[in-house]
């Protein structure tokens, strides 16, 4: 077991976390789960602790942590239970951990993911908000501490696979013309725009191709998810928004493409299953089994591509605009969206109000340079307060 690589999974009870543990379980000689974390999901985290016997389990919510600790003691488990963000930061930076799967959804994942970067870990980044909120700070921590950053989002992982090995020299120097970032278009791609205000949370979380959590499914329906991915791609691949073209591809078979100056376009294809990018990043530069069915190209038969319509998907447009503004504009965009999506899922606002809340919050905000983490956290907090006020003015439905 001494040759096993130690892994911490931040957000182990979510979709990415569950899929990560599925891949890890296929390679018991390669990987050892050192720590698992969750917010409040005691029962699932308890079962994962029983199955994987990690040294540590951490829960953000203190009451949940106490309940987990009690259950594990009764089961005779030796897993040590920690609580709070500090607990998550600790397990992200343990000496015996080689890789950290950063799979906590939203701004809550920022501090433990930064802790992993500071500790020089291989960071498997499924939490796009870390880069959206604090891009330059996060990338500096990766570089300054000798950490490795490997993208887990299916699109960014696909881009990474299609990039030349020396892309860090600069895309222009390595012959890359453009990044083609694919999007399914979500469940309302063809719905008349006038009907979008009638969309229910139940409809919005029913993604046609991917199995995802509620928040990211709503983001996919508004295409804010793709906007956040454009921002993330700019940081990951050190490029500008002008170099990134969003392509709607309803089949979700091509996960993204890279266009080169000699006319070549390289695409990464596969069944829509998050275990593929997870396995790629876990094993990189090796290839390891993921448990995903091979792609049957004959079953696919047809691939479609469309340009995104900003009238239908204004959130995507706002993401591009926030990138151009720079500074904490993308932090505000993300914070307002998190609050608005939560309000929609709780049936406090309409689906179309998500865009309105984000737009109004951006208009009411002041932006500063991202050169200090406190400024980022302050901008995030203020934007959430503004968004809450805007929602309150809309009134309860």
DSSP 189-245: SSS-GGGGGG--HHHHT--SS----HHHHHHHHHTHHHHHHHHHHHHHTT--GGGEE
User: From CA 205, how far away is CA 203, in angstroms rounded?
Assistant: 6
Whether 397 shows a pLDDT value over 60: the answer reads no
**Would you put residue 102 in left (φ > 0), alpha (ψ -120 to 50) or beta?**
beta
Which residues does 165 contact at the CB level (< 8 Å), separation at least 6?
none
Provide the mean pLDDT of the chain. 93
What domains can you pick out in the chain, each with its CATH number?
5-151 (3.40.50.720), 153-307 (no CATH), 326-397 (1.10.1740.10)
Which residues does 62 contact at the CB level (< 8 Å), separation at least 6?
83, 84
Residue with tokens 């956040």: 228
Task: Give 4-21 pLDDT, tens digit per residue.
Answer: 999 999 999 999 999 999
- Per-residue pLDDT band at 301 (split at 50, 70, 90): confident
Residue that wins the pLDDT comparison between 271 and 395: 271
User: From CA 127, how far away is CA 34, in angstroms rounded?
Assistant: 20
pLDDT for res 208: 63
pLDDT for res 210: 61
Whether 1 shows a pLDDT value over 60: the answer reads no
Considering the entire predicted model, what is its pTM?
0.91
Q: What would the mean pLDDT of 345-374 be, rounded to a whole number?
A: 95
Whether 138 shows a pLDDT value over 70: the answer reads yes
Q: What would the mean pLDDT of 277-289 be, rounded to a whole number?
A: 97
Distances (CA, A) of 366 to 330, 333, 354: 12, 12, 20
Percent of the chain predicted with pLDDT > 70: 97
Residues in the chain: 397
Task: Give 45-67 pLDDT, tens digit per residue.
Answer: 999 999 999 999 999 999 999 99
Element (H, E) at 83: strand 80-83
- Per-residue pLDDT band at 245 (split at 50, 70, 90): very high
Q: What would the mean pLDDT of 218-240 be, rounded to a whole number?
A: 94
CB contact at 8 A, 376 and 397: no
Three-class DSSP category at 255? strand
């Amino acid at each position: 077991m001494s040759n096993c690589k130690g892994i911490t999974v931040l957000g182990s009870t979510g979709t990415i976390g569950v899929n990560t543990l599925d891949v890890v379980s296929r390679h018991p000689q390669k990987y050892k789960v050192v720590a698992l974390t969750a917010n409040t999901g005691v029962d699932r985290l308890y079962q994962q602790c029983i199955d994987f016997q990690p040294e540590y389990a951490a829960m953000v919510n203190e009451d949940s942590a106490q309940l987990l600790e009690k259950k594990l003691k009764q089961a005779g488990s030796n897993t040590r239970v920690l609580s709070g963000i500090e607990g998550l930061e600790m397990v992200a930076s343990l000496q015996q951990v080689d890789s950290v799967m950063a799979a906590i959804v939203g701004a809550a994942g920022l501090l433990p993911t930064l802790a992993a970067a500071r500790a020089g870990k291989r960071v498997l980044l499924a939490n796009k908000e870390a880069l959206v909120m604090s891009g330059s700070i996060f990338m500096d921590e990766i570089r300054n501490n000798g950490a490795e950053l490997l993208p887990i989002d299916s699109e960014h992982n696909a881009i990474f696979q299609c990039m030349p090995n020396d892309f860090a020299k600069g895309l222009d120097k390595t012959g890359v013309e453009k990044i083609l970032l694919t999007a399914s278009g979500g469940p309302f791609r063809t719905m008349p725009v006038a009907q979008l205000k009638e969309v229910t949370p139940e409809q919005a979380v029913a993604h046609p191709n991917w199995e995802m959590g509620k928040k990211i499914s709503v983001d996919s329906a508004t295409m804010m998810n793709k906007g956040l991915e454009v921002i993330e791609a700019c940081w990951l691949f050190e490029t500008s928004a002008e170099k990134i073209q969003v392509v709607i591809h309803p089949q979700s078979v091509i996960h993204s493409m890279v266009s080169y100056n000699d006319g070549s376009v390289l695409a990464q294809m596969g069944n829509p299953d998050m275990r593929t990018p997870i396995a790629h990043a876990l094993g990189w530069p090796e290839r390891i089994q993921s448990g995903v069915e091979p792609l049957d190209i004959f079953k696919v038969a047809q691939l479609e591509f469309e340009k995104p319509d900003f009238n239908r998907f204004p959130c995507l447009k706002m993401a591009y605009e926030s990138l151009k503004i720079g500074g904490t504009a993308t932090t505000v965009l993300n914070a307002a969206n998190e609050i608005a999506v939560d309000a929609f899922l709780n049936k406090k606002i309409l689906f179309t109000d998500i865009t309105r809340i984000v737009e109004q919050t951006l208009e009411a905000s002041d932006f500063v340079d991202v050169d200090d983490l406190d400024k980022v956290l302050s901008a995030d907090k203020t934007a959430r307060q503004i968004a809450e006020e805007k929602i309150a003015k809309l009134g309860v439905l």
